[in-house]
Copies of this chain bind each other. A is one copy, B any other.
Amino acid sequence: MSLRFHIHHRDPNTLARVGLIHTAHGDIETPGFMPVATQATVKGLTPRDLYDLDAQLIICNTYHLALRPGAEQIAQLGGLHKFMNWDRPISTDSGGFQVFSLGAAIRDGVGKIADIFPDESMRDEVEIKGDRTPLCKIDNDGVTFNSHLDGSLVRLTPEKSIQLQHQLGADFILAFDECTSPLDTPKYTREALGRTHRWAERCLEQHARTRRAYQTLFGIVQGGAYRELREESARVIGNLPFGGLAIGGSLGRSKGDMHAILDWTIPLLPEDKPRHLLGIGEIDDVLNGVERGIDLFDCAAPSRWARNGALMVSRETAQREQIKNNRLTIANARFTLDTSPVDPSCACFTCAHHSRAYLHHLHRAKELTYYRLATIHNLHFILNFMRRVREAIQGDSWQEFRVANTLSI
């Protein structure tokens, strides 16, 4: 069976909804957040740690895994679930976003390279080039690019991306699309959108041919920050027989643009399919996405912040510590003798067992144990936040929750 989605409750004033996605590998409560496991591991954590954090779904990168160790190898090893020893649902992306990263993003210098490549080792490879020569070429049939690992030429088409994702064996797989840059003209964005729509149909055909029975294909709505294109894409993708829908690509140049894109798109999508906002998952973005009807989020920021020394805290703790955003900079010297946990209101393993002083020391000393403890904390924070989001919608207290938790007022 592919996924089944039940919406249990709706907020009366917004498009926010709580639901449950049933999959062959277990249920996912929505709205939900998926930690990013680029190379079949959330950096520093084992699958057992993710169970302890109650992560219900993770997302892996087809691009990275197809290059190393190889989709064929993972298939021979029984698929991603068995390879990682993770028996809950998995999502994979199509490789389209990495193609964008190797192409337009480098050419235009848009997007933080850190957002594009959550894998630092890959980021180094790309930054070394520095000359903004795109590493990929797009044609109507697919894309050709150089591997960031060894420079070898790789060809990716809609069919190939779906086959790779079938081999990897994730529960949710994504259509192969073309992500455009915010700097692309309306003309180019329209041309790319045509490709994305034709590729969507080819992905569906390939999916019918080689999918494992439990796999569900998500379509991706593109169209840049252009209303007409987004609306067209929502109608086209929304009418195709995808099992779920994703919003991808350039979400404009500001938070306002992103909200507008969601406002244009989501009312045109079918009600009964789960909606995934690709690559987005900061607190304010979750609040804005949820009330516009988003069910699933993925984002590398919480775990990357953790590794970089930025530990997420509640609004109360942020106010007490007089920090403007919701992230405590653990490198700060004032934590040297601070025996309190990162966030006194947090129930994670790290806060239950270790002090700011100890984390400050481990961070300064660049100790491996730091990365683990920090990642556990930030992922607990965002996963626990999603639980509270669901409770707020379920309890008809979304407005109060939203006001109490918005950071940038």
Residues in chain A within 8 A of chain B (CB atoms): 39-48, 68-69, 73, 76-78, 83-85, 121, 336-337, 339, 349, 353-355, 357-358, 360-362, 364-369, 371-373
Contacts of A45 in B (CB 8 A): 369
What is the chain B residue whose CB lies nearest that of A120? Answer: B366
In the complex with contacts A69-B336, A337-B77, A43-B373 CB distance below 8 A: no
A40 B361 Cβ-Cβ under 8 A:
yes
Measured between alpha carbons, how far is A184 from B253 in the docked complex, in Å?
Answer: 69
B358 A39 Cβ-Cβ under 8 A:
no
Measured between alpha carbons, how far is A106 from B47 in the docked complex, in Å?
Answer: 43
Q: Which of B41, B76, B354, B366 is the one whose CB lies under 8 Å from A121?
A: B366
Q: Told that A43-B368, A121-B366 touch, could you supply 9 new A-B pairs with CB distance under 8 A?
A: A39-B362, A41-B367, A41-B368, A43-B369, A46-B354, A46-B369, A48-B353, A73-B336, A73-B337
What is the chain B residue whose CB lies nearest that of A338? Answer: B77
Q: What are the 6 closest A-B residue pairs judged by CB atoms, nearest first?
A: A44-B368, A41-B369, A39-B365, A69-B361, A43-B368, A41-B367
Contacts of A42 in B (CB 8 A): 369
Contacts of A83 in B (CB 8 A): 355, 357-358, 361
Contacts of A373 in B (CB 8 A): 46
A85 B365 Cβ-Cβ under 8 A:
no
Measured between alpha carbons, how far is A373 from B41 in the docked complex, in Å?
Answer: 12
Measured between alpha carbons, how far is A369 from B371 in the docked complex, in Å?
Answer: 10
